[in-house]
Amino acid sequence: MEAELREKAKELLGSGEIGVVIGFGWNKRKTRTTPVFITKAEDTDKLVFNAYCVNNLSVYLTRKYPDVKAMGKAAIVAKGCDIKNLAVMIAEGQFKRDDTYIIGMTCSGVGYKQELIEANGGELKPEIMPVKCHNCDVRNPHISDAVIGETTDFTPPEEPVGMVFDKIKQIEAMDAKGRFGFWEEHFSRCIKCYACRQVCSLCYCDRCITDKNTPQWIDSSAHARGNFSWNLVRAMHLTGRCTFCGECERACPVNIPLNVINKKMAVVMEDAFDHRSGYDPEVHPPMIVFDIENDKEEFIK
Amino acid sequence: MSRIGVFVCQCGNNIESTVDTGQVASDMKEMPGVVFSCTYKFMCSSPGQEMVRQAIKDKRLDGIVVSACSPHMHEKTFRKASESAGLNPYKCEIVNIREQCSWVHHDTTKKIGTRKSNDLTRMIIERLKKNKPLKKINIPVNKKALVIGGGIAGIQAALDIADGGREVILVEREPSIGGNMARLSETFPTMDCSQCILTPKMVEAELHDKIKILTYSEVEKLDGYIGNFTVTIKKKAKYVDESTCTGCGECMEKCPFKADSEFELGLNKRKVIYTPFPQAVPNIPVIDAPNCVMLTKGKCGICAKVCGPGSIDFEQKDEFIEEQVGAVVVATGYDLMPNERFGEYGYGKIKDVVSGMQFERLASSSGPTGGQIFRPSDGKVPEQIVFLQCIGSRDEAKGVSYCSKICCMYTAKHTMLYKHKVHDGQAYVFYMDIRAGGKRYEEFTRRAQEQEDAMYLRGRVARIYERDGKVVVQGADTLSGTQVVIEADMVVLATALVSRPGADSLAQKLGIGYDKYKFYNEYHPKLKPVETVTAGIFLSGACVGPMDIPESVSMGSASASKVLALFSSDEMAREPIVAAVNKQRCNACWDCVVACPYTAIEKEEVKDRQGNVIGWNANVNEGVCQGCGVCVAACRSKVVDLAGYTDEQVFAAINAF
Ligand SMILES: Cc1cc2nc3c(=O)[nH]c(=O)nc-3n(C[C@H](O)[C@H](O)[C@H](O)COP(=O)(O)OP(=O)(O)OC[C@H]3O[C@@H](n4cnc5c(N)ncnc54)[C@H](O)[C@@H]3O)c2cc1C
Ligand code: SF4
Ligand code: SF4
Ligand code: SF4
């Protein structure tokens, strides 16, 4: 699979059509993979693909990285789940489908955290896979220019399984006070480092609303009010858009269960709008779309 | 430092009874930036306005706050006064201390009302400090109008606009203009023949050099905004070349195939190549494609053989026409609730149960019976006839909750028409109430009862069934408290007037509102009855709700006067309350584009000096923007702002609370 990937990258860089291949490469000790930006055909051997490749590289195609954009047309190594983000970005006009070459990787799951795989002697066991992998329906990439790897045969369970779903049920069973207490406790740890925002390819705004100060919309203090403001705004701004790639929770240094918020909002969106994000690059996320014709509610018409 | 003046109105006793306006004025005077304050009995009166103007000049005010009634009432008044005193009108703000304060508080010690008036005024003073002077926006006006629907309302609007010297495109879905009025026999309350008063108008429209009639056509798309609409019209293939057809009718004569006539509501047949009625305008036939043997099976073609000028063209295709117009009048009329909905009254099962409109055709001298009342089943003259009012109307459960308004009148008319044609016949009317408001209307329904022998029974009909060639009507007469059984020969149902199928999708194309019955919404039911929420689009006739001909005609003329006023100058000024994007910060995510209900935001290319596209941003079209602010809420990075309601202004107000 890696050989095939390197071959493809070589071919793309050689053709002159592609300026940079964004992919995964080993760190020095081969205990982690990190993003690599290959611009020369002779460097393509640095590309790897394995269970350590948990990062969602789509963030490097956002306006947050003008230096990557300056390298020319990009080819990106992407798992099915990463492609979902690309689809949302295309739907939201961040780039055109033709502007990026998608090297879709067939996938049999990754580790939730790279250190867990390392601790496991480099082996991927189901226990250390994130919830998204257990329920994955895009192990064979759904949108791509080339697919690398053999078609995998995996049917996700009909009812999604995993800790996140258990937690959602648990929280739903609480009363309002209990729920508020649950989140208050978690949000109280937030240190406003904005790592969740930085790692998210759908938090691509040039200037985040939290950074707007004329006037100041969001209280930026790292106290209860500011923490709630930020976390609620983050959740709302990603509703109907978040693809549940899990990068924010992975990046969070104080372990706020962001996956739970994100998934809950996704479930709400599916119920309300029949929408699952990341599957169709032609469909703008529905939260704010003015669409009288297809609205389910009569009163609005 | 600002120089703000605060004017607190007593509104006679309307405000003063629960608000100590003197106290409010003196409290506000203490606020930083306020240099003048006063109160007055009626600030909106001439002396009141003069006080405002004087103070602006004498105290060199750079902004004023008027604490009075709703801005809906007098914002315009005070902005005008400001302007005439040399102050930018958008530096004048209104605080509503009447509807939102004095009227909802009953504390005559005035404590609560005064405190709340202070709070509200203080907020707006802070807001005003952030107001920027704004200038009205001028947009060019294209002086051509589009009228959709060629019923009497649309014809009237078109004629009046054209007589005012402006060009009109009249789009009609059917092969002829005329609408429902063309079907009517005689019209209440004067009993003149419908066709005789309608057809001269149809011909006038046809011959008017400022009117272009497009029949068999529909509006496919409307883009743009007031003064500058682009309309795409779909002109369905008629398979007849309109430029050469002489309207001789030879083709209709010779066509061997027939289909049910839509115009005659199934009471009669028409040819497959047809005009809906003899006085059709334009008098050019169309081929009913699904029923034409030539078009479906490639056989026949007789019409083409007999046509002298060779106008038949089986190859003709639907055509799309684009036109630029400055205003639109929607006059698409009404439909009748499908009678099939009323199984209990035997409609569809019993041939001699017909609708009111079918009765119009039977009574019409140009109808299928030549104006003789024959019943459909066997052509017998009905000796007893029963009319049922309120079929589907005022019936939340099975029909619609509103009153169809004209049925009382036309049913009375029907009983008279019947009596005039069947002298020994007896008409019965089952009714709930008689609603005959209108000039000479009450007299008209009375005449039906008192002079024309119609028997009016107040009550509902429970059942209708057939027995021995009779239609038996079983009902209650609630006035005498008896059960009534009438062995009638024929029954006429006054079915509810409803909106046209597809009225909603047309509204969506045009961007106008409609109610739950899909009748179009006026901007204001009393004060702006022909305007819609979308500037430049006006309403006329029964597409707004059930109405009769005089009302439809009035609305047609009213819309025309609005259009002509709009077309009276080359440019129009509009409120500058529009959104603007901070383009340096725009992420080109298009959230605002998909959120805007008026499609006012477009995707704009960003180019470098060489003209290469290097990016995109959103751009608000000032002509289309209605200032609703949805985009401001939608934008995740808050780079859209609404002039007159900027974030800074809103925050300043909130923070002052
Ligand atoms: C049984 C009966 C008897 C009546 N008798 C009387 C009477 O005696 N006196 C009286 O004053 N009133 C009477 N009326 C009421 C009268 O018919 C209406 O007031 C009048 O016809 C309304 O005119 P209009 O132009 O608004 O609508 P319509 O006559 O319905 O005309 C609308 C036109 O628009 C066209 N159209 C619709 N949709 C589109 C589209 N999307 N694109 C293009 N064209 C479109 C239609 O084909 C039609 O030609 C009677 C009504 C009924 C039902
Ligand atoms: S979610 Fe699917 S595509 Fe993504 S890493 Fe897991 S198994 Fe692979
Ligand atoms: S203010 Fe409303 S109408 Fe104007 S651009 Fe924004 S969303 Fe559209
Ligand atoms: S929503 Fe905001 S960022 Fe997105 S396109 Fe509109 S103005 Fe730009």
- Give chain B positions within 8 Å (CB) of A209: 636-638
Same domain, A138 and A170: no
C-alpha B182 – ligand 1 centre gap (Å): 8
Question: Confidence class of residue B212 from pLDDT cuts 50, 70 and 90?
Answer: very high
Other CB atoms within 10 A of residue B358 CB? 22
Same domain, A7 and A114: yes
A207 vs chain B: nearest CA distance in angstroms? 6
C-alpha A81 – ligand 2 centre gap (Å): 5
B406-410 CB contacts, 8 Å cutoff, 24+ apart: B406/B497, B406/B546, B406/B547, B406/B548, B407/B356, B407/B494, B407/B497, B408/B433, B408/B434, B408/B435, B408/B436, B408/B445, B409/B188, B409/B189, B409/B436, B409/B438, B409/B441, B409/B444, B409/B445, B409/B548, B410/B188, B410/B356, B410/B360, B410/B494
Same domain, A59 and A143: yes
> Exposed/middle/buried for B338, CB within 10 Å: 0-12, 13-18, 19+?
middle
Full-prediction pTM beyond 0.80?
no
Same domain, A184 and A253: yes
Pocket test for ligand 4, best of B583, B635, B647 (most atoms within 8 A of CB): B635
> Cβ contact (<8 Å) for A301 and B639?
no
Q: Among 1.10.1510.10, 3.40.50.720, 3.50.50.60, 3.40.220.10, what is the CATH number of B337-498?
A: 3.50.50.60
* Ligand 4 atom 2: residue of nearest CA: B635
> Cβ contact (<8 Å) for B638 and A212?
yes
Tell me the sheet residues that pair with B146: B169, B328
Q: How far apart are CA B486 and CA B102, in angstroms?
A: 61
Other CB atoms within 10 A of residue B405 CB? 18
> Cβ contact (<8 Å) for B514 and A301?
yes
pLDDT tens track for A97-150:
999 999 999 999 999 888 888 888 888 888 899 999 999 999 999 999 999 999
pLDDT tens track for B536-548:
999 999 999 999 9
In a domain, A277, yes or no: yes
The ligand placed nearest to the CA atom of residue A207 is 4
> Is the distance from CB of B163 to CB of B598 less than 8 angstroms?
no
Domain closes at, from A94, A116, A148: A148
pLDDT tens track for A166-215:
999 999 999 999 999 999 999 999 999 999 999 999 999 999 999 988 88
Pocket test for ligand 2, best of A112, A138, A148, A262 (most atoms within 8 A of CB): A138
- Considering only the beta carbons, identify the residue of B591, B616, B638 that sits closest to A209: B638
Number of domains in chain A: 2
In a domain, A39, yes or no: yes
Q: Three-state DSSP class for B222? A: strand
Q: How far apart are CA A238 and CA B552, in angstroms?
A: 50
Same domain, A144 and A169: no
- Give chain B positions within 8 Å (CB) of A61: none
> Is the distance from CB of B265 to CB of B358 less than 8 angstroms?
yes
B154 lines ligand 1 (CB under 6 A): yes
A214 vs chain B: nearest CA distance in angstroms? 7
* Strands B4-9 and B34-40, bridge-based pairing: parallel
Residue spans per domain, chain B: 4-128, 137-236+318-333+500-572, 237-315, 337-498, 575-656
Q: How far apart are CA A79 and CA A52, in angstroms?
A: 12
Q: How far is CA B153 from CA B192, B555, B584, in A?
A: 18, 7, 50
> Is the distance from CB of A239 to CB of A268 less than 8 angstroms?
yes
- The question of ipTM being above 0.90 is answered as yes
Backbone angles phi, psi at B114, to 5 degrees: -65, -45
* Ligand 4 atom 8: residue of nearest CA: B586
Domain closes at, from A148, A177, A208: A148
Question: Confidence class of residue A301 from pLDDT cuts 50, 70 and 90?
Answer: low
Sign of the torsion angle spanned by Cα atoms A144, A147, A153, A154: negative
B517 lines ligand 4 (CB under 6 A): no
Domain over B4-128 is classified CATH 2.40.50: no
Strand segments (E) across A43-121: 74-79, 100-105
Same domain, A23 and A122: yes
Same domain, A107 and A24: yes
B335 lines ligand 1 (CB under 6 A): no
Beta-carbon contacts of B514 under 8 Å, excluding residues fewer than 6 positions away, are A301, B499, B503, B504, B507, B520, B521
Atom of ligand 3 nearest to the CA of B627: 1
Tell me the sheet residues that pair with A24: A35, A48
> Burial letters for B197-231: b for 16+ Cβ neighbours within 10 Å, e otherwise?
bbbebbebbeebebbbbbbbbbbeebebbbbbbeb
In a domain, A233, yes or no: yes
* Strands B470-477 and B482-488, bridge-based pairing: antiparallel
Domain closes at, from A120, A148, A176: A148
* Ligand 2 atom 6: residue of nearest CA: A133
Pocket test for ligand 4, best of B578, B582, B583, B590 (most atoms within 8 A of CB): B590
Q: Among 3.20.20.70, 3.40.640.10, 3.50.50.60, 3.30.420.40, what is the CATH number of B137-236+318-333+500-572?
A: 3.50.50.60
pLDDT at B269: 95
User: Phi/psi class of residue B524: alpha, beta or left (left: φ > 0; alpha: ψ in -120 to 50)?
Assistant: beta
Q: How far apart are CA A290 and CA B612, in angstroms?
A: 32
* Strands B286-287 and B273-274, bridge-based pairing: antiparallel
- Is the link from the previous residue into B256 a cis peptide, with omega within 30 of 0? no
Same domain, A190 and A283: yes
Q: For an interface test with A, which of B130, B505, B587, B596 has the most A Cβ atoms less than 10 Å from its Cβ?
A: B587
> Cβ contact (<8 Å) for B590 and A284?
yes
Same domain, A180 and A140: no
B311 vs chain A: nearest CA distance in angstroms? 40
pLDDT tens track for B128-166:
999 999 999 998 999 999 999 999 999 999 999 999 999
B470-477: strand order across its sheet: B461-467, B470-477, B482-488
> Cβ contact (<8 Å) for A93 and B585?
no
pLDDT tens track for B271-327:
999 999 999 999 999 999 999 999 999 999 999 999 999 999 999 999 999 999 999
pLDDT tens track for B591-609:
999 999 888 999 999 999 9
- pLDDT above 90 covers a percentage of chain A that reads 82
- CA B566 to chain centroid: 18
In a domain, A40, yes or no: yes
Q: How far apart are CA B541 and CA B522, in angstroms?
A: 12
> Exposed/middle/buried for A6, CB within 10 Å: 0-12, 13-18, 19+?
buried
First to last CA, chain B: 21
> Cβ contact (<8 Å) for B589 and A301?
no
> Is the distance from CB of B355 to CB of B495 less than 8 angstroms?
yes
pLDDT tens track for B386-433:
999 999 999 998 899 999 999 999 999 999 999 999 999 999 999 999
- For residue B655 the two structure tokens come to 């923070």
B272 lines ligand 4 (CB under 6 A): no
B126 vs chain A: nearest CA distance in angstroms? 14
pLDDT tens track for B563-594:
999 999 999 888 899 999 999 999 999 999 99
Same domain, A79 and A183: no
Domains B137-236+318-333+500-572 and B337-498 fall in the same CATH topology: yes
Same domain, A214 and A106: no
Q: Find the helix packing angle between B111-129 and B647-655, rounded to 10°.
A: 150
Domain range for A278 is: 163-288
A131 lines ligand 2 (CB under 6 A): no
> Cβ contact (<8 Å) for B587 and A204?
yes
Fold entry, domain B575-656: Alpha-Beta Plaits (3.30.70)
* Ligand 1 atom 15: residue of nearest CA: B548
Beta-carbon contacts of A99 under 8 Å, excluding residues fewer than 6 positions away, are A73
pLDDT at A175: 97
Q: What kind and span of H or E run contains B614?
A: strand B613-620
Q: How far apart are CA A88 and CA B206, in angstroms?
A: 54
Pocket test for ligand 1, best of B530, B549, B554 (most atoms within 8 A of CB): B549
> Is the distance from CB of B323 to CB of B144 less than 8 angstroms?
yes
Computed over every residue of chain B, the mean pLDDT equals: 95
* DSSP state letters, A94-112: SS-GGGEEEEEE--S---S
Other CB atoms within 10 A of residue B89 CB? 19
